[in-house]
Amino acid sequence: MKITDMLFKAAGTELEWFGPKRLQPQEVFKIESMAATYGKGLILTDFEAWAEEVRGKDFNYPVSQYIRIADARVKEISASGERKDDPRIVQISAFVFTLTNRTPHQDDIKKMLVKYSQDEIQNAFKAYATPLDDYETKFAIKNFFRDGGGDGVILSLRQMKAADEKRQIEVDASIAAGEFVAKMERDQLLASEDDVVGDKSF
């Protein structure tokens, strides 16, 4: 998906703006050049952060408004090293984007990484987001990363994993006990046959 299409889609989701999807050629060139330099994920994440900052204000063309200031914002983020601090942030952002066509804010990802591993976060988000319909998916990132939904999903998955492991231990123990009993019975049967053979030898 082109970065321009991604921004228009995010404008509808974040700002409930559904105006004409038109940009000046120089605006398209600017944002596409930035996407090639910094990556679509970073730009989309910053647009969503900007949309949150300006929510409630009236913009006729929010995507154009963002593009005017995007260069300075994204340069500042890139210069601060946020993309280089922890590669897991970009990887999680990309993973979430493949499922929702949206990306969570980097600060929200950082907060979750303090408590959980990358695999736990991604597996939990996939389990959470996969059954959602298109309307519910619009709110999936906020619910999961910002409103505490992710904590509940991860706890639930941990509990299910622990229960599965407990059941497996019980199954393995039952199998081992059955094999032990079968071996004892077999040994007793062989011993009985030996006694019979010994009796006949007299």
Distance CA 81, CA 77 (A): 7
- pLDDT band at residue 157 using 50, 70 and 90 as cut-offs: very high
Output the six-digit token pair for 148: 């505490």
Query: Looking at residue 56, what is its pLDDT?
Result: 77
Query: Looking at residue 83, what is its pLDDT?
Result: 45
Q: Average of pLDDT values for 151-160?
A: 93
How crowded is the C-beta side of 97, counted as CA atoms within 13 Å? 23
Tell me the percentage of the chain whose pLDDT exceeds 90. Answer: 30
Query: Looking at residue 202, what is its pLDDT?
Result: 52
pLDDT digits (tens, 9 = 90+) for 37-54: 888 888 888 888 888 888
| pLDDT at residue 82 greater than cutoff 80 | no
Output the six-digit token pair for 117: 């591993």
Q: Average of pLDDT values for 55-65?
A: 83
- pLDDT band at residue 156 using 50, 70 and 90 as cut-offs: very high
